[in-house]
Amino acid sequence: MSKDPNSISQVLPSQYGAQGPTDRRLHKNAGWRLYLQTVVARAYPRIIGQQREKSWLFFDILLPLLSVCAYVFVYQAIDAPEDYIGFVVIGGAMTAFWMNVLWSMSSQLYWEKEQGNLALFIMTPTWMMAILLGMALGGLLATTLRALAIIILGSLFFHVQYAVSSFAQLFAVFILTMVSLYGLGMMSASLYLLLSREAWHISNLAQEPIYLFSGFYFPIKNFGFWISAAASFIPLTLGLDAMRQLVFESGPSLGFLSVRVEIILLLILCVVFLFTARQMLAHMEKLAIREGRLTENRR
Amino acid sequence: MLPTKPETYKNKPTIFSRSFRTAAWLGWQIESNWTDPFLFAIYSIIKPLAGAAILVVMYSIITNGDFADPIFTYIYLGNAFYLYVGAVMSGISWAVLDDREHYKTLKYMYIAPINVPTYLIGRGVAKFLVGSISVFITIIFGVLFLHVDVDLATINWPLFFSSLAVGVVMLAMMGLILAGISLLIVNHVWFIGDAVAGALFLFSGAIFPLETLPVWLQPIGYIIPISYWLELLRRSLVGSVAAAFPTFENLSNLQLMGILIGLTILFAIIARFLFRYCEHVAQERGLIDMVTNY
């Protein structure tokens, strides 16, 4: 027998019991337990990663907050009503979620492909949907912290006055917005499976135009019905509009649709995006395998 | 007797020009060849126009579309030229993360016969070119559709081109400072160049006069060279608009240019030493080939 303490015959009996690996089976989760285990496993690096790398406090909170301040000062320079400053603070906080969905959900499978992890994900005996859900949950928790910090600091700095008309509706709107938004992210992640270098540019392109049409810094109602309706495809458009109606005094008069209608629409978006994400992921995965794009590295 | 250098060797470009030209070509290929030229042109135009449109809509909602007010031209031109800030700074600093984490070639750059800071500045050229097109189109759009008050006959062209040239050098030096810092940090979702450009947006008086800032924040605006650069550009294009705001009314064009050149030299010195220092730390800690895409 080998004297090497790391040799397999020395290590395995202690790990699998005195009788060795063949006599005792490893406990393996299956079904919903495996699904949950996968979700937690993929969410873990998202949450723990930011604890280990503190520079995100500067890059993800302070710098976006300064951009928010710039837009607030524009409103102050042109003597805008006070509530518009609150609109910018809330919109600025919500940009954190859009950035997270864009760069850490939609593009994530592209990054994984670049890193060489995607093939490992596919061959792992678990669900890709669970991996995406883990990504979403981890990203959502981490981003909520950032968004909250931006709201708290922005509100304190600019003395934003809130007049919440219904906490229950506000909570419902936020949850539905997040579920549908991350559903959209999961759906687009499957599309990105087929993309190569253009993925980066598409994500880059989907910033300012979305800030514009989703009304991150002003009420979307000003665009008129049809443009606002088209922009409502992005859940943040309806979510932001409903949140502003619920937390600002002048909000209801500047709202695009009533909060109830927006909640119903968000609910529909949740179902549509999550269902479509599931279908598209299965389809795109097959397509990517068939076309040999899972390990493709066209740089 | 030592052998004389062959004629061809004498004519070889210096390490600086070779690094710069090759990097500029490489940067342009990376920026543009992921799609066909038409789509690339659309892509290059939509992003800046959407950014400008956010401000136009904000302004229009509050003032009911009073675009004749000088503050609108002030905001619009400041925002248009500010596109250069993000483009040049992020073009240079992003090259570090792109080469290190995406292409994984930064380590090869360090063993190649090139000058790395010059190479990084060269990588920013492509973004500068795309940024120039964006600035031009944004201004043309404003003049044609939004009554932005720019008259070709009254533009002070020498002041415009000299300010633009000094400003681009200043931005390149700021980009190099960020590139040095990028050597030591992880790959963030917010790209450091864009993020810092977004932050400086606040203090440079790009989209509102510096007097709008709280008094205790205004001094920051006066030490940022971008504030002087934007004022010079506004004065050269639309003197009447610049005169409507008192921020730099006590300074002549010559004084503004002197301050801009002085600050550019200062940033160049900082960039040189800071980049060297960061490079040294990165080599000491083994960060040149770090991959941090979590």
Q: Is A156 on the interface with B (CB under 8 A)?
A: no
Q: What is the pLDDT of residue A1?
A: 37
Distances (CA, A) of B290 to A107, A144, B185, B187: 21, 28, 9, 10
At a CB cut-off of 8 Å and minimum separation 6, what does A6 contact? none
B55 contacts in A (CB within 8 Å)?
A: 74
Q: What is the mean pLDDT of residues A128-140?
A: 87
B209–A204: do the CB atoms touch at under 8 Å? no
Tell me if A78 and B207 make a contact (CB, 8 A cut-off): no
Task: Give yes or no for residue B294 having a pLDDT over 90.
Answer: no
**CA distance, residue A8 to nearest chain B CA (Å):** 32
Neighbour-count burial for A11-31, b at 16+ CB within 10 Å, e otherwise: eeeeeeeeeeeeeeeeeeeee
Chain B residues with CB-CB distance to A156 below 8 A: none
Mutate to test the interface with A, among B94, B188, B218 (most CBs of A within 10 A): B188
CB contact under 8 A, B207 and A212: no
A162 touches chain B (CB under 8 A): no
Contact between B201 and A67 using a beta-carbon 8 Å cutoff: yes
pLDDT tens for residues A144-191? Answer: 888 999 999 999 999 999 999 999 999 999 999 999 998 898 888 888
> Are A66 and B199 a contacting pair at CB < 8 A?
yes
Q: Which of A79-83, A190-194, A219-223 has the lowest mean pLDDT?
A: A190-194
CB spacing of A77 vs B293 below 8 angstroms:
no
Question: Tokens in use for B38?
Answer: 């038409």
Q: Phi and psi of B139, rounded to 5°?
A: -70, -45
**Amino acid A296: pLDDT:** 65
Residues of chain A neighbouring B70 (CB-CB closer than 8 A): none
Contact B50, B141 (CB under 8 A): no
Which tokens in the block code for residue B150? Answer: 């720019």
Q: Do the chains contact at A212 and B54, CB–CB below 8 Å?
A: yes
Are B205 and B227 a contacting pair, CB within 8 Å?
Answer: yes
Q: What is the pLDDT of residues B84-126, one digit of tens each?
A: 998 898 889 889 988 988 888 999 999 999 999 999 999 999 8
**What's residue A125's pLDDT?**
86
Smallest Cα distance from B102 to chain A, Å: 8
DSSP codes, A246-263: HHSTTHHHH-SS-HHHHH
B4 — pLDDT class (breaks 50, 70, 90)? low
CB-nearest partner of A197 from B34, B189, B195: B34
Facing residue for B294 by CB, picked from A45, A63, A84: A45
**Any CB–CB contact under 8 A between A222 and chain B?**
yes
Task: Give the nearest partner residue to B71 out of A63, A78, A205, using CB atoms.
Answer: A78
Residue A3 clears pLDDT 50, i.e. is over it = no
Question: What are the sequence ranges of the domains in chain B?
Answer: 15-285
Q: What pTM does this model have?
A: 0.83
Digit-coded pLDDT (tens) for A110-119: 878 777 788 8
d(CA A97, CA A214): 13
Percent of chain A with pLDDT over 70: 88
Q: Which of residues 87-126 of A touch B (CB under 8 A)?
A: 99-100, 103-104, 111, 114-115
- Inter-chain CB proximity A74 and B208 less than 8 Å: yes
User: Distances from the Cα of A237 to the Cαs of A77, A165, A212, A269, in angstroms?
Assistant: 26, 20, 10, 12
- From chain A, the residues in CB contact with B50 under 8 A are 208-209, 211-212
Residue type, A240: L
Return the sign of the alpha-carbon dihedral for residues B212, B216, B218, B220: negative
Supply the DSSP symbol for A216: S
Q: Is the pLDDT of residue A104 over 70?
A: yes
pLDDT band at B185 (very low <50, low <70, confident <90, very high): confident
| Burial (Cβ within 10 Å: 0-12, 13-18, ≥19) of residue B142 | buried
Q: What is the CA radius of gyration of chain A?
A: 23
Q: What is the mean pLDDT of residues A246-253?
A: 90
Rounded-to-integer distance, Cα B122 and Cα B17, Å: 9
Contact B162, B257 (CB under 8 A): yes
What's at B212, amino acid-wise? T
Q: How far is CA A215 from the centre of its chain?
A: 19
